[in-house]
Amino acid sequence: MTHPAQTKTIAHPINTAAHSMDQLLWWVIGISLLLAVSVGSTVQAQPVPMAKTQAAGFYRMMVGNFELTAFSDGTSPKDIAAIMSDPAKVRSEFKKMNLAMPYQSSYNVYLVHTGKELVMIDTGRGGDNGQLLKNLSKSGYAPSQIDAILITHMHGDHVGGLSLAGKRQFPNAVVYASQSEADFWLHTKLEDYENPHWAGNAKRARANVNPYVQAGMFKTFDGPTQLFDGIQSLPTHGHTPGHSAYLMTSQDRSVLFIGDTIHCAEVQFPHPSLTIAYDVKPDHAKAMRVTLFKTASEKGHIIAGPHISFPGLGHLSQQGEGFRWVPVQYQYQVQASE
């Protein structure tokens, strides 16, 4: 007895062949159409636009029991060689490192949550360029929650975010700066500045700091001062007459907020004798840079630098006449401090 399936197959050999031919024809037509459509679509469809946006500008890590957040206040391109003490050397160093000019200058602001208070270090540029408030909010905090703001110095890219049109941007924050910084920028007669640029800086400093002075929310300190549990000021005069660094310590970990002790990490870490036109006293600024960096490398402080490429956090080790910069290792999740 023959199996029905076999019977059927054998019984219609010609029809089956014809059927296969039909199928083949349809496959050929189908594939041709598909090809035509796909070739056509490659030519006609618009490419996906480039997104050209960046991730939110904050970076967070635990340091001992304290939470440290770095905020980007944005970046701006500048020909930094032109404003440094040895432009030819800076240009040749950039060339050796395959770095392009203009240089992308970072503006970073830092926030420490001590477990009791929220303490911010500087406020960035403010105005249309300032990105601090946007990034503060994206990081989960509001300006009204900030308890204190420690000012490293009163240049516009550090106090510019304090006030907007005479209104305090951080309504509950007490602003701290050294007495000598306040004397130089807030209390000197504008016509007494030996450099006309400084009178302009002073006007901007006053517009930003005075609303806090008038509200009784401005305090000064003299010399090294313990401002909060785990946070102290250190006089680091040079870049400005009352420039201050701040040292944060929790358990055996520490962060040194260095303000404008450095502007161009790529050349001033290996060559700390290079100075910048913004230094009020370049020789003092140079000496202070070396002293502060030696201390940081010996004690193992994490450096927090407002103008070091965001987030501007890393360690230093001495290397010959200069210093080697090692950025903190990126953590995708905020982990407990080791």
Q: Are strands 225-228 and 322-327 parallel, antiparallel or unpaired?
A: unpaired
Question: Could you tell me which residues are beta bridge partners of residue 177?
Answer: 220
d(CA 91, CA 119): 38
Q: How far is the CB of 278 from Zn ion (least distance, A)?
A: 7
- Which residue, chain included where needed, has tokens 């206040």? 73
Q: How far is the CB of 152 from Zn ion (least distance, A)?
A: 8
User: Among 116, 117, 106, 182, which Cα is nearest to 146's?
Assistant: 117
Cβ proximity to Zn ion: between 66 and 184 the closer is 184
Cβ proximity to Zn ion: between 181 and 260 the closer is 260
Q: How far is the CB of 312 from Zn ion (least distance, A)?
A: 12
Cβ proximity to Zn ion: between 111 and 264 the closer is 264
Q: How far is the CB of 46 from Zn ion (least distance, A)?
A: 43
Show contacts with Zn ion in window 22-61 (CB under 5 A).
none
Q: Could you tell me which stretch among 42-50, 154-162, 210-218, 294-302 binds Zn ion (CB under 5 A)? A: 154-162
Q: What tokens were used for 24?
A: 């083949």
DSSP alpha helix (H) spans, 163-280: 179-186, 196-214, 265-268
Q: How far is the CB of 259 from Zn ion (least distance, A)?
A: 7
Question: Could you tell me which residues are beta bridge partners of residue 178?
Answer: 221
Q: How far is the CB of 159 from Zn ion (least distance, A)?
A: 10
SS3 36: helix
Cβ proximity to Zn ion: between 93 and 260 the closer is 260
Q: How far is the CB of 307 from Zn ion (least distance, A)?
A: 6
Is residue 93 a contact point for Zn ion (CB under 5 A)? no
The CA angle 80-246-70, to the nearest 5 degrees, is: 65
Please, are residues 155 and 291 in contact by the beta-carbon 8 Å criterion? no
Of residues 157, 230, 301, 314, which one binds Zn ion by CB under 5 A? 157
Phi-psi sector, 325: left (phi>0), alpha (psi -120 to 50), beta = beta
Q: Could you tell me which stretch among 142-150, 254-262, 283-291, 313-321 binds Zn ion (CB under 5 A)? A: 254-262
CB atoms within 10 A of CB 90: 24
Of residues 202, 260, 325, 328, which one binds Zn ion by CB under 5 A? 260
* Cα R_g (the chain), whole angstroms: 31
Q: Could you tell me which stretch among 39-47, 62-70, 152-160, 234-242 binds Zn ion (CB under 5 A)? A: 152-160
State the residues that interact with Zn ion by CB under 5 A: 157, 260
